[in-house]
Amino acid sequence: MSEDFYAFEFLSIDGDALPLEAWRGRPVLVVNTASLCGYTPQYAELEALWQRYRDRGLVVLAVPSNDFGQQEPGSPREIKAFCTGRYGIDFPLAAKCRVVGADCHPFYRAIAEAFGEAATPRWNFHKYLIAPDGTLSALWPSQVSPNDAEVASEIERLLPRA
């Protein structure tokens, strides 16, 4: 499927427009996140990825969601304070939204329509890598660490040579 995932827009954690189009031509790692999850330490790994590859073009986008286990109950202000205070996050944070179900964000609905229900998040910290051409390059379930060699290899493949 040749869905153009840069066509979607989120709201930022601060309530501003956050169009994926702004990053066209760059790989974007979209991750649904939660502050009270067993996978929450992956925030540190996502920040490390961002620091390692941002100058070469990678964007990391966290999409907080309360869909799984009610593990993201906080307000936007609380979520932002947690991410920046506890993990030093300075990559973009979207506003909290639904990532599964009939009323999920259109980005996640497009994932389900293009790749089937098996491609939708099953828990927090599911990862989608959008290629510079706007197609979905790869996806990884929650248990795959952002530090995994496969993740780094796929990101490296999409980035310009250093």
| 37: annotated active-site residue | yes
- Residue 118 sits at φ, ψ, to 5 deg, of -65, -20
Report the half-sphere exposure of 103 (CA within 13 A, side-chain side).
4
Pairing of strands 28-33, 127-130: antiparallel
Q: What is the helix (H) or strand (E) element at residue 70, kind and residue range? A: none
- Quickly tell me which residue has 């390692």 as its tokens: 52
Q: Which residues are catalytic?
A: 37
